[in-house]
Structure formats: structure tokens, C-alpha cells
């Protein structure tokens, strides 16, 4: 008799728990024919340890064992939420059938009577494994839908909170201009136009970050590495912000290793640098300075962006990358800040095998270090 799963690509791991060597031998021989991974325990204590180490897909559990019987083992396993969907089939002697109700109450899903009938053993195991794998897939789908729904709620929250202010400014400014209250090229006209441009840039930046963040969170943004000139990337990013630097009279100094290249995703890397520089501009006062330097160290590439801005309170630093936190702060010229840009930067950093380190002192400034790690290194989970 062969066994075919409706869910392809699954090689089940079955833990067999029995103090009788003959029973273990019979079950093991049957399961080996089915090309299962088999784990064996001869007592309850060993069984509990093996569940933790091997994470089986199903347990065949003898009821009558010395010191710790099958019911106690089942009770301990089912007290852990991780084992909620782990199917446990009790192995019982003919005279123990009356006790099996207790096993069901403790979380068991079925029982098989000894001596074993090979076909019955296979069919029952097959049925409960397929149910288990189906439940697992449904749980993954449910979790994914829950994450997408949470993402939608976060997006609506950011849209409602952080888009309202710049869009309100744009509407009010356009209303004033449409009424012809300002003479063309007058000081008031230029200031009004400057406000309009700034508000438009804030909306554009926020929408770009929202889209990048949504793609990253939903898993539809794939990593496409290529050879990138860090020097060229920094230069193009500077020209993107040239107007912002000029507007706040902020100097931008760079120093980087010549012909510095990195093999990574160009879009993600540019978004990381763009968001960190944007953050530095927002929180640096007029006449301040932003510095960027980049170099390779032992195969890793370090890109450091520092400013002499307002700095970040120590208690707020952990919140910057926390998806559950929403920190909205205005810049030194009233620029809106949703806090989303740094979350996007951190998410992308992880995707390109990197990490962002932060050093900051209030009223002194901040330093963000992007480390793009070589293939042999792994980024910290922090």
C-alpha cells in the first residue's frame, strides 16, 4: 500500500513513543516504507525533549508507560500553544479503550489499538497528517491576511494623519493664489510659492515611502542585486536634494573611497540613502551641515550620514525602527515628518543584508551608519 499526500513537497516527521521495542520495530518498519522521517522515544521524558528538538508533524503515543504515561505527556505538550495543531494518536491495548475518552479530552485526535493493523495504521496517519498540513496552510493564509489588513490600517492611519497637513497647506495656498491677493514676484508671492513647493515635496515623499513600505511589508518587492557605483549613486541623490539644501542653506560634504562599488539592489539602496538624507535635512537648522562618507572595510561597505541638527532623545531611538510605533515630528522649518522614511530605510537595509546603526545627542546631531555586509556576514536582528 502506498501513501500519497495531497500537499506536495512535504516529508512528514513522525515521533513514535513506546516502551515496548517490538511495537517500535513494527511501527518503524511501516513508516520507513513510506519514506517518513522517524524519531523514536522509549519514555515520556525523552518524548518531551525530542518534540522540542525535532518538531514532529505527528506523534504516535503509547498510553501505558512507566513513570510518565501517555496522557501526562499529552497534557504537557498541549499546554504549550506551539503544539496546538500537533496531532497526537494514542497507541492503546484492547483493554484500554475505555480510557481513550480521557485522551481526547487532553487533546488527542485518534487512537490505534494494538496489535497493529498495518493498513489501518497507514490510513489513520495519512488522514491526520493531511489535516495537519492543511490546517498549517490555512493558518499561514490567515496570518498573511491579518498582516495585510494590519498594513492597510497602518496606511490609512498615516494617510489620514500625515497627508492631511501638507494637503491642507496646498489647498489653502492655491486658494490664496487663485484670488490674486499677491503681486507676481513680490516677497509674499515668493514665500507662498515656496510653501506650495515644500508641501508638494512632502506629499510626494510620503506617498513614495508609503508605496515602498507597502511593497516591502506585503512581500511583493523582490531583491534584484547588481553592481552599483556608490559614488554615482551618492551624486545623483545629492542633485535630488540640491534645492532642499539651498533652501535651508545647509552645506553637504562628501568623502568616499574612489571607485567604490557594491553588489546590491539599486532601488533599495537609493531609498535608504534618500530617506536618511531627507531626515537629516528636516532636522538640521538653517545654516547647518550634513556630511556623508563611504568606504569599504573588510569586504563590508559603510555609508555614514551625519548632521549637526536637533538630535534624537535616547528614549525615542528604539521607536524609529519599531513597526508598531508611529512617531510624527516636525522639522526645524515646520516640515512634516511621519517617521515612515526611517522604517522604510531599515526594512530595505535588512533586505540587502545590511543594518543601520544610530548615534545621536540632543542638540548636537545624529549619525546614521548603513553597513552593507559581505555575503559571509549576517546582519543583527536588531
The model's pTM is 0.56
CA angle (115 as vertex; 114, 116 as ends), nearest 5: 90
* Partners of 356 in the β-ladder: 370
| Residue 229: predicted pLDDT | 92
Least confident of 156-165, 189-198, 282-291, 341-350: 156-165
Is pLDDT at 335 greater than 60 in this prediction?
yes
| Residue 222: predicted pLDDT | 82
| Residue 370: predicted pLDDT | 96
Confidence of residue 381 (pLDDT cuts 50, 70, 90): very low
d(CA 361, CA 194): 31
- Mean pLDDT, residues 186-214: 76
Is pLDDT at 239 greater than 80 in this prediction?
yes
* Alpha helices, H only, 20-117: 21-33, 44-54, 70-78, 100-106
- Mean pLDDT, residues 330-356: 83
Q: Which domains does the chain have, with CATH numbers?
A: 13-141 (3.40.50.2300), 222-372 (3.30.565.10)
Query: 86: which 3 cell numbers?
Result: 500537533
Measured CA distances, 130 to 82, 85, 105, 136 (Å): 19, 12, 22, 10
Q: End-to-end CA distance of the chain, in Å? A: 51
Residue 311 φ then ψ, to 5°: 80, 175
Is pLDDT at 378 greater than 70 in this prediction?
no
d(CA 129, CA 87): 8
More confident residue, 106 or 173: 106
pLDDT in tens, 346-377: 989 999 999 999 999 999 999 999 999 876 45
Is pLDDT at 50 greater than 60 in this prediction?
yes
Is pLDDT at 197 greater than 80 in this prediction?
no
- Mean pLDDT, residues 142-148: 79
| Residue 223: predicted pLDDT | 87
d(CA 318, CA 339): 12
357, 371 contact by CB (below 8 A): yes
- Mean pLDDT, residues 197-214: 74
- What Rg value do the Cα atoms of the chain yield, rounded? 31
Amino acid at each position: 500500500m502506498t501513501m500519497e499526500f495531497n500537499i506536495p513537497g512535504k516529508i512528514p516527521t513522525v515521533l513514535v513513543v513506546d516502551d515496548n521495542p517490538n511495537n517500535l520495530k513494527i511501527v518503524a518498519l511501516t513508516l520507513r516504507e513510506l519514506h517518513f522521517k522517524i524519531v523514536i522515544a522509549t519514555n515520556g521524558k525523552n518524548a518531551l525533549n525530542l518534540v522540542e528538538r525535532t518538531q514532529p508533524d505527528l506523534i504516535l503515543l503509547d498510553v501505558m508507560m512507566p513513570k510518565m504515561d501517555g496522557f501526562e505527556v499529552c497534557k504537557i505538550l498541549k499546554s504549550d500553544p506551539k503544539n496546538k495543531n500537533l496531532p497526537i494518536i494514542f497507541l492503546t491495548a484492547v483493554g484500554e479503550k475505555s480510557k481513550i475518552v480521557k485522551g481526547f479530552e487532553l487533546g488527542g485526535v485518534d487512537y490505534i489499538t494494538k496489535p497493529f493493523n498495518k493498513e489501518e495504521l497507514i490510513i489513520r496517519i495519512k488522514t491526520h497528517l493531511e489535516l495537519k498540513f492543511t490546517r498549517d496552510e490555512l493558518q499561514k493564509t490567515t496570518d498573511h491576511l491579518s498582516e495585510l489588513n494590519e498594513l492597510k490600517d497602518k496606511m490609512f492611519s498615516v494617510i489620514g494623519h500625515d497627508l492631511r497637513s501638507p494637503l491642507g497647506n496646498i489647498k489653502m495656498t492655491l486658494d490664496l493664489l487663485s484670488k490674486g491677493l499677491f503681486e507676481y514676484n513680490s516677497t509674499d508671492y515668493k514665500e507662498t510659492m515656496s510653501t506650495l513647493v515644500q508641501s508638494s515635496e512632502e506629499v510626494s515623499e510620503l506617498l513614495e515611502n508609503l508605496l515602498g513600505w507597502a511593497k516591502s511589508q506585503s512581500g511583493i518587492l523582490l531583491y534584484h542585486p547588481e553592481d552599483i557605483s556608490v559614488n554615482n549613486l551618492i551624486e545623483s541623490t545629492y542633485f535630488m536634494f540640491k534645492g532642499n539644501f539651498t533652501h535651508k542653506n545647509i552645506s553637504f560634504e562628501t568623502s568616499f573611497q574612489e571607485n567604490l562599488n557594491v553588489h546590491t539592489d539599486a532601488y533599495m539602496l537609493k531609498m535608504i540613502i534618500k530617506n536618511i538624507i531627507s531626515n537629516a535635512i528636516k532636522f538640521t537648522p538653517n545654516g547647518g551641515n550634513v556630511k556623508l562618507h563611504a568606504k569599504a572595510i573588510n569586504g563590508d561597505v559603510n555609508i555614514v550620514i551625519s548632521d549637526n541638527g536637533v538630535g534624537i532623545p535616547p528614549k525615542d531611538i528604539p521607536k524609529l525602527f519599531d513597526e508598531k510605533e508611529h512617531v510624527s515630528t516636525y522639522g526645524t522649518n515646520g516640515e512634516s515628518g511621519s517617521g515612515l522614511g526611517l522604517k522604510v530605510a531599515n526594512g530595505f537595509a535588512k533586505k540587502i543584508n545590511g543594518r543601520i546603526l544610530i548615534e545621536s545627542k540632543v542638540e548636537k546631531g545624529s549619525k546614521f551608519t548603513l553597513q552593507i555586509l559581505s555575503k559571509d556576514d549576517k546582519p543583527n536582528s536588531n
